[in-house]
Structure formats: C-alpha cells, structure tokens
Chain A
Amino acid sequence: MREKITYVLAAIVGALLVSNLYTILLGLPDEANQGAIYRIFFFHFPSAITSGLCAFLSLVGSLMYLYRRNLWWDAFAVSATELTLTFGAIVLMTGMIWARIIWGIWWAWDARLTSTLVSWLAYASYLIFRRAIEEPTARARFSAVISIFTFPGVIISWKSIEWWRTQHPGPVISIRGGGGMAPGMEAAAYWNLLPLAVLALILISIRLRQENAQRLLDGFRRQAHEI
C-alpha cells in the first residue's frame, strides 16, 4: 500500500514537472533585462526552499532523537540531511550558472553565497562524521548535535539578503516584500516548488526505509557473526 502511494505520488510529481517545464520554457516570455537565463530561477528558488525545508526536518529529527532516544528519528534526520545537500547542490550550481551570465563571474564571496556554501559544507560534514562513528547511539547523538548547531546557518542564509546588501539580489517574491516579478512568473515558481518539495518528501521516505533496513541488516550481521 505504502509503495503504491509512493508510485502514485511520483507519477503526479513527474506530470507536474513536465507541465511546469512546458510553462517555463514555452509559456512564459523572456524577462526584459535578463532574457532567457532568468528561467533558472524556477529551479533555483524552489530548490532553495526545498533544501531549507529538509534542513528543518533534519533539525526536528535531531531534536526528537535527543528527546526520545529512538533511532528512527536519527534515520529520519539523516534522510532529510541528504536531501538538504542534494537540493542545496542544485541551488549552488544553478546560482553560479545564472551569475556567470548576469554578473560576469561564477562566484562572489557575498553574504548569501558564502552562508549558503558554509551551511552546505556543514551538512556535508554531518554525513562524513557519521561514517567515522561505528556505535549507533553515539553516532546518532553526535549527528544530532551537529545538525542542531548547523541549522542557524540556514536561517542566516535565508535572512542574509535582508540583513546585508551585497552582490546577491534582494528578495524578489512578493511574500517577502520583493515584488520584483510579474504575477504569472511568480506563480510558476510556486508551481515548481510543489512537485520539488513533494519529490523531496518521497525521497526522504525511501531513504528512511533504507536506513531502517540497514539497521535490520546490522542485526542480521551480529546474528550471523554469533553463529
């Protein structure tokens, strides 16, 4: 039943992504100043929100692990962290490609870019450190602490374009007081956020199942070793 729901959701996500791609590439006009390259925003912005959402889920999983001491929450946190990194990589890469055309450079050490990169590296270190610790409860406790201390970096990255005015554009979406986009264009960004966020949730659930299977596997390994 659970697998069927996953397949149905994945099919809906696929259909929405294809329909959105059609709208983004053929339905919307070029932007007056940026031309075609502004369309990268329709992946950059939803991926940033999705990555932030996954980081929040990782924080919830980490806090719940420390509160309940149940390894399921640790598995949930690591699954969400992997998706934070995946969507974070999309944000960084699409941003750099956009910057190459609009700014003429691939990278600038401004507040938004630097804080995003630092947060991404901190979440990457979370996964690297996990591999170094064998004992599951020590690994879970250590990972939870890293995740909790890394999350403020996501908030700093989110608010950085309001706190400091540097190279990265200020808020453009209307709910953040930007108003720099035509309503049709902004709606397309939200429509692409929906399938990407649902896709992240689907991938977290698959990854979570794998993490729990891995724990079962460790139990089998111990059993086989005793025999």
Chain B
Amino acid sequence: MDSRNFTYMFYGFAAAWAVLVIYVITLVSREKKIHQEMDRLKKLIEEGSRK
C-alpha cells in the first residue's frame, strides 16, 4: 500500500467523521441552551404570575 495514498485516505475518513461529529456537538449544545432558556423563562413566568 502506497503510504501517501494511505495517509490521504485517512484524511478523507477523518474529514467525513469530523464534519459529522461537529454537527452532532452543535446539536447537543443547542439542545442544552434550549433547555436552560426554557427553565429560566418558566421560572420567570411562574414568579410573575405569583405577583
């Protein structure tokens, strides 16, 4: 197996996986932000309605 050929094949696989992993990380961080914001607003509304 040509070593240069093999190295670039590895780069190709790594690039494909990296793009997918980065997208999944953005999804997870977005999910966290939505939950945090949801909890914050729910508390705010509850406190406001009590007053």
Contact = CB atoms under 8 A, between A and B. Distances in A.
A40 B8 CA distance: 9
Interface in B3-51: 4-6, 8-9, 11-13, 15-16, 19-20, 23-24, 27, 30-31, 34, 37-38, 41-42, 44-45, 48-49
B16 A206 contact: no
B38 A220 contact: yes
A44 B19 CA distance: 13
Interface residues of A, number: 34
Contacts of B4: 101
A93 B38 contact: no
Binding site secondary structure of chain B: helix
Contacts of A36: 1-2, 5-6, 9
Given A36-B2, A40-B13, A94-B15, 5 more contacts: A30-B1, A39-B12, A43-B16, A210-B31, A224-B44
Interface of A: 30, 34-37, 39-40, 43-44, 47, 82, 86, 89-90, 93-94, 97-98, 100-101, 199, 203, 206-207, 210, 213-214, 216-217, 220-221, 223-224, 227
